[in-house]
Amino acid sequence: MDRFDKIWLTAIGGGIWITAYAVMLTGCTTDQKIPDHKVAAQPERNHTATPKKEKTYGDGEYIVTEDIPYGTYVSSGAKTGAFSLCTVTSEPWRGSAHMPILKVADEDERIILILGKYNEGDVLSIDGCEPFVKRG
């Protein structure tokens, strides 16, 4: 038999339950071999977490809290070059009662920059420095 269709109807108790079961076999005979399906090898997965790359802040101007969040930042100093000087300055937001930031460093002179709530809205200028990275 090349094709087999079966529908099975059953009536049970006070209600009618209809179960339809259809099986269809086509083109199968006892002398045919079923092809051997091979599953492709799955690539080995690396289950180690990729460390998240830290955001760095290089030369440019940043508005505190909009472009650069509060925190402690560290730079390894000035970039190597003919004129190696790293400068960090801030222009306090209008009406702020705190003093501006002014930091200067040479090559291999670490700079630590602390930005707090009192710096909110200040414009921070970084020039000639290795990128600052948030600490902790």
Residue 123 maps to a domain:
yes
Give the pLDDT band of residue 126 (cuts 50, 70, 90). Answer: very high
pLDDT at residue 4 in the model: 38
Return all residues near 70 (Cβ < 8 A) that are at least 6 apart: 64, 115, 116, 117, 119
Give the pLDDT band of residue 7 (cuts 50, 70, 90). Answer: very low
pLDDT at residue 51 in the model: 63
Rounded mean pLDDT, 63-77? 96
Per the CB < 8 A criterion, the answer to whether 109 and 117 are in contact is: no
The number of residues making up the chain comes to 136
Residue 14 maps to a domain:
no
Residue 36 maps to a domain:
no
CA atoms within 13 A on the CB side of 83: 3
Residue 5 maps to a domain:
no
Give the count of domains, the chain: 1
Which of 15-19, 35-39, 97-101 has the weakest average pLDDT?
15-19
Q: Strand 71-75 vs strand 111-115: parallel, antiparallel, or unpaired?
A: antiparallel
Residue 50 maps to a domain:
no
Structure tokens at 11: 């009536």
* Residue-wise pLDDT tens digits, 90-103: 999 887 788 899 99
Residue 11 maps to a domain:
no
Residue 35 maps to a domain:
no
pLDDT at residue 31 in the model: 59
Q: What is the DSSP letter of 117?
A: G
pLDDT at residue 1 in the model: 40
Domain that holds residue 60: 56-135
Rounded mean pLDDT, 44-60? 76
Ramachandran quadrant class, 2 (left: phi over 0; alpha: psi -120 to 50; beta: rest): alpha
Q: Is the pTM of this model over 0.85?
A: no
